[in-house]
Each structure stands twice: as structure tokens, then as C-alpha cells.
Amino acid sequence: MKEKPNIEITENDVQTILQTNYQDFRGIVATGVYCSHCKREHLNVGIKEYTITLNDLNDVHLKGKCTICGRDVGRYIAYGEMEKVYQRAEEFRNAYKSRVNMKIVKKD
């Protein structure tokens, strides 16, 4: 079986895949990110200017900047462990293949 590529997806795509879990996603984006710099101040930081990657496990990886100090931060969310989300991600991938602008993200 061919390994699934990591693909960069949009905010709309993540909403399509997560559906009811999208509110949770928005909460993480707003205040659920770890920043080693802001941790000292015990601040709840969010992430801005982020890219969203759907990886081969159908987990979501955010990369962007801390909403408070602007340093690079990331957040990995294991949505692929949720059966319904995983299934929707698979359906999304099947539909996504026909897109001309599909962005495959190089694996780390």
C-alpha cells in the first residue's frame, strides 16, 4: 500500500474534516498552544499566520507564530485517532486528488 502524502490544507478544509470538532480546533488556535518563551509568564497563547498540514495518520500539524511574542510555535493534534474524523479525512483525500493545486508537504 502506498504511503499517504502529507498535504497542506486550508481553514475551510479543516472545517470540512473536523465538523463538530472544529470549535475545539478554534479553541486550540486561540489559546491552546505551547510557547517556551511565554510559558514563563504563564500566558495562554495562541497561534497565528499558521499553515495546516494533514499528515499520513490524518493528524493535524499547525506551524505558525505565537500570538503574543511572535516566535515560531507549532501544535500537533492527533485528530486521526478519532474514527469519524479519520474517515472524513480519507474522503477528503480522495476528493482532493483531483485538485490541480494540491500541495504535498515534504516529510520531516
The footprint of Zn ion (CB under 5 A) covers: 35, 37-38, 66, 68-69
Report residue 61: phi and psi, to 5°.
Answer: -120, 120
Bridge pairing between strands 60-66 and 104-105: unpaired
Residue 41 CB, nearest distance to Zn ion (Å)? 8
For residue 59, the tally of other CB atoms under 10 A from its CB is 19
**Nearest to Zn ion of 26, 37 (CB atom):** 37
**Nearest to Zn ion of 68, 82 (CB atom):** 68
**Nearest to Zn ion of 30, 69 (CB atom):** 69
State the Cα angle at 76 between 70 and 72, rounded to 5°.
15
State the Cα angle at 80 between 38 and 45, rounded to 5°.
15
